[in-house]
Structure 1
């Protein structure tokens, strides 16, 4: 910048500028020159150098004024957020103290004592509402065969419509319109909370790059594949002229380095990815600008590894998390959280100097939970280790969880127990269950999804029973296919929808009958009053025009009923969109928290315990995930319902809760055991004979969520043949144990003259690794017609020994004997 220009700027600013400030102003002017040239190249070429400089300078001046106003607003928002958090922490009366209060702002706590909508619940409510508005987009890609495939023509048309290119496909056009509206709503909500995402006219759809695919090719190859697909008008030099091929090649080379390394060139000293103020997330220029929909699709085919739906959901999850963080902690949530953590840790330690060790652990746990929730994860250390570990775990899900549905009857116990605690009408819940379980009732499904309920099937999640970190692969496809084919996904979704619909209807009735929040009975509505609902939220709820879904659900308070309230009706409560959006999420957040209690779904706290926060691609991280595979569900059952029991206001209430939980889940566990035996060709076990104690202990453990691990207290080996210790270390360790035993058995069997035994063991191992072989309605037929015959062929007498062992160890007989191809 010339000296006379610097003097003019300093005179206008009425102070001396630093060298850095001068450089920033110069950079702004050049950036705006590029923007002017890109937006209207013809007009730009007609301008003189002086006029170009004047216009760019005016834009830079406007930018500085906007940024100054934004900075001032962000300071106010930060102060407001800090005051809210200080009030909550200082007024919290729980035994876990101020550090516990801060911890509760991060993730859902099941004890009903938080009175705060956590970042976790706020994120999920925001995401689920966004997904509820995208039914047209989901239908446009026409998922078929258990939702495992996308229709290529539908995907193409949807992408074209998102990019503003008409295809004549009305369904795709509606889906693209819905996508544009919901993403724009989330952009506004993020900016309202202190964010700064500008409006990009031709944005359309988020980008996705597979680090593995990009890293597998050279920089030159990637650049040559990309450069012809770009909209060149977005790539200009400082003087506004278009970049040359060589200049653009250098520019894209930097993008390649970031993508191919997974951000390793942008790490802090701790190994965490660099993150500035969360409010600035998304305001960086979108560096890869494709010129049209075809170019985008061609790039995704070459260098993407996610489906269109996964890309869309990933965008919604990311911005929903950002919104929740800036709303809770202010525009720079990391800074506010750190200051709160330091303050509460210091105050707690000063008040309890004898407990410094416990306080330090509590503070570390809180910090780790925040890092996990906010996405502060370390990049994958080794892609090969991570990929192979994912594939093994996916294969375990596909080959071992085909009968998980039969172990899910305990959902009924936890669902009705939760309904009692939240004061829901039991008869209506049962009626809604029947409606949701009807696979032909598409109206119920559509309404529930429009209300933001049971979105897991749309997300392709198998998080209830396994671990929801499966990467894109054939093994993931197999795992998802088995979970859907077994009916477990449909079962879980149906019961979640039934509970959520019942709760929304009950809330509508309560809101109608109750004038204000303080009029609610603490005895009947303790859980509802623990959700951080304010008087403003309640007043907005009362203004909603409730929906009549029929069949007893005639007072439905839904997210859409809240968002449809006319702006004029809520202006006296604040900015209309902000007030309605907040009240809507308080509703959806409260409902989804209780739905996940009723039909247990692991949350952030449980995921942290099962290793989700540990770096992927390391032996420690992958072994931890393998140990806890299949254990996230039982851990969640114990953690959540024990916490809920201990949160009851009286000793009698705590005892009654625990007794009801144990009794109901034990009875349902007994049912699960009997059904599982019958599905395997065995007769039901005697529940009252000499082995009754063993049976009911197994039922207690199975109903309580421990599944097959109930057998470990009853026998030296599980009914699958694995040692108890190996199985407790997870199915992957159990598989390794089985392979080692077979290897050890080969020479021993040869010495003992039983070499044929090895063949039967290998067949059994192969069966245990066959995806779908364990599906509950197929496994008896597959066993008797294929696997048993193979075992008997390779190891004559193998089936007779198996029958004898079942009689000896479990006192069971068979209604379909192992050696019979068909039932006799």
Structure 2
């Protein structure tokens, strides 16, 4: 009896469904076609039937495991939501992102997808042990080895290249991805039994559109006929029947060119990414260079794959194998509770301000799981993203000036809250950035604190994730500009120093029982729901001894879930030290709209450079607001305002010097009012964004519309008024518009020279009265701020050094 007749009888007997019969027949035909060249017809049929039966059995077992894990995850999540003192919606939000109402002690578990994703990704990067470092870009992104990296592909396919760096990278990749696959399987995610996680596939929409469907199909069919490429069925369970291969390839072309491939949302383990199985390294390289990552994109793809796997593992471990379905069900329950709980205007306003409404939860989930980052339309996404990239390159060149004092004070404040000596953090930072860079990174890898710059350089700095979009030309310009400022080195150095000191502090506290811990550290454990029994489990872990110090070894903790919770908590506290927009803020800044939609790009452009003030509010201001009692809130608030006002004062003086002006007199009320406004992430970033433009209507327009649309609106408006005769097109106006779109025009170390030698000359060429214009500007700065110029407008060289005595009003 043929396999087809056998399956038909099983369906008639209601022992299997028609869908199961169809799947089994497809698996059989695919296996038989693959085995036929080496077997006779009878043996091939028998082998195909056995393989189909094996696959169907394993699939059924995986589905049972998935169903069990799914039910457990739902019940666990619902129970955690019910324990949150602020309601089910806040409880659900706390599983996606840091709980800004800090109800962890009542819930007993404060782990969330946003932090856990970073934790798992860092674990994967640590397992690579720096093997991908030779292929990272250097010299601010201007140089990168894009040729020998392909040797990694050859090594992964078993070809000996003689390249030791590629061998190490290939082994690290194989071991790391095997760990990731095993971990996500343990969490219940059903994967194809024909798993091949050798390398990710990245089919580029814009690159593929340059070629016809017939050329793409012919290329892949040629490789298929030569045995260099296997094509799988739609479920990823086995080889597709030979007759269906051409149609599958043609459909893949349509899906990719129309943006339906789903790689972004599918995650690092999706069978959508495994329809084509490469059998030859040369085939992979040829097709990826032509239709995928191109000549220089393999590093970005491989590193981005770690991030995708980390996010998928975190989502599955917290919300279950089908986390989208569980989340939807949990959100429905939470929304009903929210309706009953927040039944007044005041209550609804309070939960909306803290970004804990059901709508905010949905936006956060979409941001945390990567949905919002998928481009629905590549053309629209390219236009909007390109404009934001240029604005980033033109306006954030002095970000480091704001970051140095701002981060120093927030890092000190976060250290103080947790009992860590702030001087130790800053001391380690200086040491790591000067004499011990390699040594500190080696230690960091062991304790899951490897520099995220490895990922940042591949996909854009996370700190400016809402500013740097993609790796096209404008994305590379923005990324290179930001690296030239030194902001990445500073940020990653401070992150690592803060995390290492925290780990060292934990190692020292491990000698102490829970009831005798340092009060600040005890508060940290309680804040994240750790019990005395759990602390006893953690503190028996042998420490790592390096660089003359002890560090807590999070990878040595016997209980993996407990170790993940601790690491997630450490990363949460680090986000108070170095402000970065989390999934909650990213969701709010995009209004929950997908990239590549018209409204999505409009919103992203309007909110560009505005994520920092919201991040500051969601961290330090919210922590101040949830302190116990009026005195607790007042004390925390005074400390925060004082430190950030001082940071604003330092930033203001540094910005004055790099702009060619003497420092302001610090003895005036106006100066400290200005310092108070500039204090915190919003004030500092807002000031540096608009420091190169007017302080009047144009600046307000840009703030409301966003820098890109605002600059376009302002430029078109000035041009139309000049044409109609209602406004004179002055040299100053032209220079400002040119500067707003010139990458690198605000670099802190060259800003004053660029202003004087380039933009002042542009103004002078157009404005016959440029000297009077320069003089009026100098008089205005003297009158309003009491500042003179050490390198005045229009001067080819500085006339003197900055007058630092002006600080005291000399």
Partner of 1:499: 498
User: Is the 8 Å Cα contact of residues 466 and 632 (structure 1) preserved in structure 2?
Assistant: no
The correspondence of residues 302-321 of structure 1 with structure 2, limited to 5 A, is 302-305=290-293, 307-321=297-311
TM-score, scaled to structure 2: 0.87
Q: CA RMSD in A?
A: 3.5
Q: Which residue of 2 aligns with 1:282?
A: 270
Q: Is 1:396 aligned with 2:391? A: yes
Distance 2:33 2:26 in 1: 11
Contact (CA 8 Å) 2:206, 2:257: kept in 1 or not?
yes
CA distance in 2 between partners of 1:793 and 1:21 (Å): 77
CA contact 1:791–1:799 (8 Å) conserved in 2: no
Structure 1: which 5+ runs fail to align? 563-569, 571-578
Secondary structure of the 1:168 match is coil
Residue in structure 2 matching 1:100, options 90, 93, 106: 90
Mean CA deviation greater in 460-469 or 102-111: 460-469
Match of 1:566? none
For 1:774 and 1:151, how far apart are their aligned partners in 2?
Answer: 29
Distance 1:104 1:30, change over 3 A: same
Query: Deviation of residue 371 (structure 1)?
Result: 3.0
Q: Name the CA distance, whole Å, in 1 between partners of 2:387 and 2:704.
A: 17
Q: Deviations over 1:287-310 (max 9, x none)?
A: 223343233222222222472222
Displacement, 1:557? Answer: 1.1
1:489 maps to: 488
Structure 2 CA distance for partners of 1:820 and 1:177, relative to 1, 3 Å: same
| 1:208 alignment partner, SS class | coil
Matches for 1:135-534 after TM superposition, within 5 Å? 135-198=129-192, 203-230=197-224, 232=227, 235=230, 248-263=245-260, 282-283=270-271, 286-305=274-293, 307-349=297-339, 362-377=357-372, 380-408=375-403, 409-438=405-434, 441-453=437-449, 455-458=451-454, 459-460=456-457, 461-465=460-464, 467=466, 470-514=469-513, 524-533=521-530
Determine if the alignment matches structure 1 residue 802 to structure 2 residue 777.
yes
Give unmatched runs, 5+ long, in structure 2.
800-810
CA contact (8 A) 1:742 1:758 kept: no
Correspondent of 1:639 among 618, 635, 640: 618
In the aligned structure 1, how far is the partner of 2:4 from the partner of 2:196? 39
Match of residue 112 from structure 1:
102
What's the counterpart of residue 682 of structure 2? 706
Counterpart of 1:187 in 2: which secondary structure? helix
Classify the secondary structure of the residue corresponding to 2:551.
Answer: coil
Indicate how the Cα distance of structure 1 residues 386 and 345 shifts in structure 2: closer, same or farther if over 3 A, else same. Answer: closer
Output the CA distance in 1 between the equivalents of 2:673 and 2:465: 24
Are the structure 2 counterparts of residues 346 and 639 from structure 1 closer, same or farther at C-alpha, using a change threshold of 3 Å?
closer
Q: Distance in 2 between matches of 1:397 and 1:485?
A: 13
Question: Distance between the aligned counterparts of 2:495 and 2:204, measured in 1?
Answer: 34
Structure 1 counterpart SS, 2:550: coil
Q: Aligned partners of 1:810 and 1:227: how far apart in 2?
A: 71
Q: Hey, what does 1:812 align to over in structure 2? A: 787
CA contact (8 A) 2:95 2:113 kept: yes
Once the two structures are overlaid, the 10-residue window that deviates more, 614-623 or 517-526, is 517-526
Tell me how far 1:721 sits from its aligned partner. 7.9
1:244-265, CA deviations, whole angstroms, 9 ceiling, x for partnerless residues?
Answer: 7x8643331121122111117x
Tell whether 2:72 aligns with 1:80. Answer: yes
Aligned residue for 2:804?
none
The question of whether the paired residues in 2 share the 8 Å contact of 1:665 and 1:703 is answered with yes
Contact kept, 8 Å, 2:606 with 2:707, in 1: the verdict is yes
Aligned-pair distance for 1:117?
0.2
CA contact (8 A) 2:579 2:616 kept: yes
Asked whether the equivalents of residues 392 and 468 of structure 2 are also in contact (C-alpha less than 8 Å), the reply is no
Question: CA distance change for structure 1 residues 726 and 441 in 2, over 3 Å: closer, same or farther?
Answer: closer
* Residues 196 and 281 in structure 1, CA contact (< 8 A), matched pair in contact too: no
Q: Which moved more, 1:251-260 or 1:492-501?
A: 251-260
C-alpha distance in structure 2 between counterparts of 1:241 and 1:391, whole Å: 41
Partner of 2:737: 765
Q: Aligned in 2, Cα 1:449/1:631: closer, same or farther, shift over 3 Å? A: farther
- The answer (yes or no) to whether the contact 2:331–2:358 under 8 Å persists in 1 is yes
Q: Distance in 2 between matches of 1:743 and 1:396?
A: 20
Asked if structure 1 preserves the Cα contact closer than 8 Å seen for 2:103 and 2:527, the reply is: yes
Judged with a 3 Å threshold, the aligned counterparts in structure 2 of structure 1 residues 746 and 286 are, in CA distance, closer, same or farther, namely same
- 1:535-592, Cα deviation, whole Å (9 max, x unpaired): 78645533433112335xx220134444xxxxxxx5xxxxxxxx43x34422332222
Deviation at 1:236, TM superposition (A): 7.8
Partner of 2:796: 821
1:343-385: CA deviation from partner (whole Å, max 9, x where unpaired): 3333454567668988999323323322332334596444322
Q: How does 1:582-601 map to 2 (within 5 A)?
A: 582-601=561-580
Contact 2:367 2:584 in 1 (8 A): no
Conserved 8 A contact 2:96-2:114: yes
CA contact (8 A) 1:330 1:336 kept: yes
Match of 2:802 in 1: none
| Residue of 119, 123, 130 corresponding to 1:125 | 119
Q: Which residue matches 1:555?
A: 550
Could you state the TM-score of these two structures normalised by the residue count of structure 1? 0.85
Q: Map of 1:618-633 to 2, 5 A cutoff?
A: 618-633=597-612
Task: Provide the C-alpha distance between the structure 2 equivalents of 1:241 and 1:113, rounded to a whole number of angstroms.
Answer: 50
How far apart are residue 760 of structure 1 and its match? 3.7
Quote the offset at 1:633 in angstroms.
1.5
Alpha-carbon distance in structure 1 between the residues aligned to 2:663 and 2:341:
59
In the alignment, structure 1 residue 61 sits paired with structure 2 residue 53: yes
* Conserved? CA contact 1:136–1:174, under 8 Å: no
Q: 1:709 to 1:769 in 2, by over 3 A?
A: same
- Matched length: 774
- Counterparts of 1:512 and 1:345 in 2: how far apart (Å)? 45
Q: Is the 8 A contact 1:422 1:527 kept in 2?
A: yes
Distance 1:170 1:257, change over 3 A: same
Deviation of the 1:694 alpha carbon: 2.5
CA–CA distance in 2 between the matches of 1:20 and 1:392? 49
- Aligned pair 1:778/2:760, yes or no? no
Partner of residue 589 from structure 2, selected from 610, 615, 630: 610
CA gap 1:229/1:633 in 2 versus in 1, 3 angstroms: farther
> In 1, distance between residues paired with 2:639 and 2:14?
73
Shift in alpha-carbon separation, 1:123–1:202, aligned structure 2, 3 A: closer
Distance 1:535 1:185, change over 3 A: farther
Task: Assess if the C-alpha contact under 8 Å between 1:113 and 1:647 holds in 2.
Answer: no
Tell me what 1:565 maps to.
none
Q: Find the residue that maps to 1:144 and give its secondary structure.
A: coil
Distance in 2 of aligned mates of 1:301 and 1:52: 37
Match of 2:543 among 546, 558, 562: 546
Counterparts of 1:357 and 1:708, CA distance in 2: 30
Structure 1 Cα separation of the partners of residues 74 and 218 of structure 2: 49
Cα distance, 1:134–1:721 mapped onto 2, change above 3 Å = farther
Contact 1:648 1:654 (8 Å CA) reproduced: yes
Shift of 1:451: 3.3
Counterpart position of 1:657 = 636
Counterpart CA distance in 1 for 2:682 and 2:228 is: 60
